[in-house]
Amino acid sequence: MTDSGMPVTVARAEDFDELARMLGHLFHGTLEPESHEVERGIFEPERTLLVRDGSELVGSASAFTRELGVPGGAVPAAHVTMVGVAPTHRRRGLLTGLMRRQLREIRDAAREPVAVLWASEGRIYPRFGYGLAAQRLAMECETVELRVPEPASAVRRLRLVPPAARQPELARLYDRLRVDRPGWSSRDDRWWRYVLSDPAAHRGGATELRLVAYDGPDGLDGYALWRTKDEGDRSGPRALTIAHEVVAATPEAYLALWRMLLSIDLTRRLSFRAGAVDEPLLRLVNEPRRLGAQLVDALWVRLVDVPAALAARRYATGLDVVIEVTDELFPENAGRWRLSGGPDGASCTRTDRPAQLGCDVRSLGELYLGGAGRPRWPPRPGTRAGTGSARRGGSGLRLAPRPGRHGDVLGGRRAGPGRYGRLMGEAERRRRRLRHHSEGDGPGRDPDGPAATTAEVHDGAEPPRTRRGGPVPEDREGERGLRGLVGSGSSQVGVSAAMRARDAARLRDEDLAEAEARLVVVRRNWVPREDLPRSGR
């Protein structure tokens, strides 16, 4: 029952037609019979909540049953969709009632520790505990002057084939790659039929959906789903290439696919709205700014069961930290939790130990997929630091072993997953290996890229020492564990190198006292009194 007194009921399969009509009005679309049947194929009535005013359907919220890729694996996640309230019944608490009941049912079922969605408007969902966990790059560009490097191999392995003809191979490649792609959602046969479906109503005046496949020595290594739209004028051809999804397991496949998409005859423009934040294409083209990349929100994540969600994923390096969580919706999530673990597993248990970091459940959602996370400043109300580095501005809870590649369809049309496998060329990988070797061979070193590491933990009689030789101050004891929450990014500087530089630059009390003793104040245009000209001389 909502606050307005209208009952909330669970849908039946026969409610789909009425629900589709209501959602068509809400999202300003025209319901076509062909697309109507496509959407019916993924509808889950038992997970759909409806609000009626008498016999009239005026509100809904649904979810899909899928897995969500997280650092180190995948977790069952409620993929929230079909959320809306009729314009005649807004401001009556219907949306609040639907969202609260849906989250409570997910929590009570104890099958899915997280919920995830794409938001039509970002301001709607933070009040229900959802945090922006992943962003994406939307690219709209002119292709005439864009160039990408020639592939290392002269062998051409690209093939144009009907999408449905290679669905089993696409599924195998996708499943092989998604284990290392935070933010990718699982696809069973129903979902592959949905992704490869091509109703005329979804084409927007463009061609049918097309597939270009890249075959490696051992089978399919990459593919792209795309279409073109003829928009020529009196000045000549100006067709648009619309790339929906680009997936590659090797640098060669990635490079070959993008060379083709950027150079199709008679096309002059390209649209790709599912790019990863660290999309390699930005570093491959000769003019990155011409890609017109715009950073926009993508996945919003809500931790429904905090300890289960934090224990379900993996971490870049060993960590042991106490987090104090606030959650207005679920008191079960509130309190102090000790998170311990690393690359091989994690545990999260309730504790009475002092908290090293305090945050609300929305902040945990923002950081859960291991992306860039929240900026250091300004802090949002409800997020506080406790001891150690958290008090000085925070480790930021960067949780990912590697930067996440995010995106999949959650009920909208093909937002598409991200790309690639190892996408830098051999020279780039060699450069990074040399840089990291020069930094040392500390624990957790990844030969193919940066990896966060913690300072060595001393359990014996000898206390840990700073880089200057002094004992570690008491307020830095929590920092050893908090460093494990810092993940690597695409920066040119490794995480461990940055931390060592920070530690080396941090002033001790002795340094400050010495500087104060040697302080000399100089005033501009000031002359000592004894050197001033005297009258009568």
Instruction: Give the max Cα distance, the chain.
Output: 111
- Residue 114 one-letter amino acid: V
Per-residue pLDDT of 489-524, as tens digits, reads: 343 445 555 555 556 556 677 777 777 777 766 555
Predicted local confidence at residue 2, as pLDDT: 66
Q: Which of 165, 183, 161, 187 lies closest to 41 in space, CA to CA?
A: 187
List CB contacts of 400: < 8 A, sequence separation 6 or more.
71, 182, 316, 369, 370, 371, 487, 488
Q: Between residues 509 and 158, which one has the greater pLDDT?
A: 158
Mean pLDDT, to the nearest integer, of 298-317?
A: 96
d(CA 43, CA 16): 8
Among the ranges given (216-225, 228-237, 302-311, 334-343), the one the predictor scored with the smallest mean pLDDT = 228-237
Task: Compute and round to an integer the Cα radius of gyration of the chain.
Answer: 27
Predicted local confidence at residue 408, as pLDDT: 53
Q: Between residues 286 and 527, which one has the greater pLDDT?
A: 286
* Phi, psi (degrees; rounded to nearest 5) at 119: -100, 130
List CB contacts of 254: < 8 A, sequence separation 6 or more.
222, 246, 248, 280, 419, 420, 421, 423
Mean pLDDT, to the nearest integer, of 298-326?
A: 96
Predicted local confidence at residue 260, as pLDDT: 95
d(CA 492, CA 434): 13
Q: Between residues 427 and 254, which one has the greater pLDDT?
A: 254
d(CA 450, CA 465): 25
HSE toward the beta carbon, residue 280, CA cutoff 13 A: 25
**Entry pTM:** 0.74
Percent of the chain with pLDDT over 70: 70
CA angle (492, 495, 499) in 5-degree steps: 120
Burial of 289 (0-12, 13-18, 19+ CB in 10 A): exposed
Q: Which of 242, 372, 361 lies closest to 298 in space, CA to CA?
A: 372
Per-residue pLDDT of 393-452, as tens digits, reads: 333 344 443 334 444 534 333 333 333 333 334 444 444 444 444 444 444 444 443 333
Predicted local confidence at residue 476, as pLDDT: 47
Predicted local confidence at residue 1, as pLDDT: 64
DSSP 243-273: EEEEEESSHHHHHHHHHHHT--TTEEEEEEE
Predicted local confidence at residue 337, as pLDDT: 98
Per-residue pLDDT of 138-148, as tens digits, reads: 999 999 999 99
DSSP 411-443: SSS-------SS-S-HHHHHHHHHHHHHH---T
* Phi, psi (degrees; rounded to nearest 5) at 15: -80, -5
Among the ranges given (72-76, 156-160, 210-214, 262-266), the one the predictor scored with the smallest mean pLDDT = 156-160
Contact present, 389 and 395 (Cβ < 8 Å): yes
d(CA 151, CA 156): 9
d(CA 309, CA 131): 14
**pLDDT at residue 294 tops 80:** yes
Three-state DSSP class for 203?
coil
Q: Which residues pair with 81 in a beta bridge?
A: 62
Q: Between residues 305 and 150, which one has the greater pLDDT?
A: 305
**pLDDT at residue 488 tops 70:** no
Contact present, 181 and 418 (Cβ < 8 Å): yes
Per-residue pLDDT of 58-110, as tens digits, reads: 999 999 999 999 999 999 999 999 999 999 999 999 999 999 999 999 999 99
Contact present, 324 and 355 (Cβ < 8 Å): yes
Predicted local confidence at residue 483, as pLDDT: 41
Predicted local confidence at residue 280, as pLDDT: 95
d(CA 261, CA 173): 20
Q: Between residues 215 and 152, which one has the greater pLDDT?
A: 215
Predicted local confidence at residue 528, as pLDDT: 57
Average pLDDT, the chain: 80
Q: Which of 296, 301, 328 lies closest to 96 in space, CA to CA?
A: 328
**154: confidence class by pLDDT, cuts 50, 70, 90:** low
